[in-house]
Amino acid sequence: MNSTLDEIGFPKPTFISANGVELEVYEAGRQNTGKPIVLCHGWPEHAFSWRFQIPALVKAGYHVMVPNQRGFGNSSAPSETTAYDIAQLTGDLVALLDHYGYKKATFIGHDWGANIVWGLALLHPTRVNKVINLALPYQQRGEKPWIELMEEVFGGDHYFVHFNRQLGVADAILDENKAQFLRNLFRKNVPLAPPEPGMLMMNLARAEKPLGEPIMSESELAVFVSAFQTSGFTGGINWYRNLDRNWHLLSDANPIIPHPTLMIYGTQDMIPQSESLQDFVPNVEVVSLDCGHWIQQEKPEETNQAILQWLKQQNE
């Protein structure tokens, strides 16, 4: 893992105390102090997911901070499930800004990281300058808690529901098959097919022959495998186990996000594009790239171009 990070010039990690936990943070471009940008990974990922964006953003004049969020990498992984709710996860990002002396920053999130960035804009709007999110559009708060609604619509085998209703089952299977699960998950050009019976993520962990093509080299994949050998999967899965709690925590938040926002979709992603995005994020611009879910890793140059072009349009 370390040799791969060294070979590509990935920043060395530092550890900061933030919001009652220790965060492993990869920082680059300190010479660009005053133009902060924070990159937030998804599940099951790592700060390394942003390896292609960090040098491009530094070159463009940004001070880049990329935390392994709580439960990932060598950051703290509290044992209490409620330690991973939206208040705690956004609190970590606020504390990160405080550590570096910033009142606000531009935040870029992918997948679950995008969900945290949406939540940050709701709960701490004055700490957010601009929003750039990949894959996961804004999820408006409906009349029913999210897991309760998903269980009604998708059933108990949907992995969001399964994570919540069968505690520890998926964690154990993913932990037993770390390398195989991650190898099978990080794929592109996966042929469309009806979902198999059972829970998707456990099926992936057990599948001996992955579909599609890998999005990364074996040495890059080894970085993720090594990280999850350290952290295990439970901390990250606990993010899912707080979705209904988050629904309650966001009850009093203004649901409109006024910040300038860029939303980047992958046209082959299983996550559908939002038809109501502009209703809740009125200052949003949408870009679609011809790729699957792992947008910034599958299409790094196109992702960088979309981000930098939009930031330039915002007079940054």
Predicted local distance difference test score (pLDDT) of residue 128: 98
148: exposed, middle or buried (Cβ count in 10 Å: 0-12, 13-18, 19+): middle
Q: Which residues pair with 18 in a beta bridge?
A: 21
97: exposed, middle or buried (Cβ count in 10 Å: 0-12, 13-18, 19+): buried
The pTM (predicted TM-score) of the whole model is: 0.96
Over the stretch 250-292, which tens digit does the pLDDT of each residue have?
999 999 999 999 999 999 999 999 999 999 999 999 999 999 9
Which residue among 46, 63, 110, 111 is the active-site one? 111
C-alpha atoms less than 13 angstroms from C-alpha of 308 in its C-beta half-sphere: 17
111 is catalytic: yes
pLDDT band at 26 (very low <50, low <70, confident <90, very high): very high
DSSP per-residue codes, 268-304: T-SSPPPSSHHHH-TTEEEEEESS-S-HHHHSHHHHH
**How many contiguous H segments (helices) and E segments (strands) does the chain have?**
15, 10
Q: Which residues pair with 66 in a beta bridge?
A: 26
Predicted local distance difference test score (pLDDT) of residue 197: 87
Predicted local distance difference test score (pLDDT) of residue 2: 64
175 is catalytic: no
Over the stretch 75-110, which tens digit does the pLDDT of each residue have?
999 999 999 999 999 999 999 999 999 999 999 999
Two tokens, residue 134: 């990949």
pLDDT at position 316 over 70: no
Per the CB < 8 A criterion, the answer to whether 192 and 178 are in contact is no
pLDDT band at 145 (very low <50, low <70, confident <90, very high): very high
Predicted local distance difference test score (pLDDT) of residue 206: 96
Phi/psi at 268 (5° precision): -100, 5
| Number of Cβ within a 10 Å radius of residue 196 | 11
pLDDT band at 193 (very low <50, low <70, confident <90, very high): confident
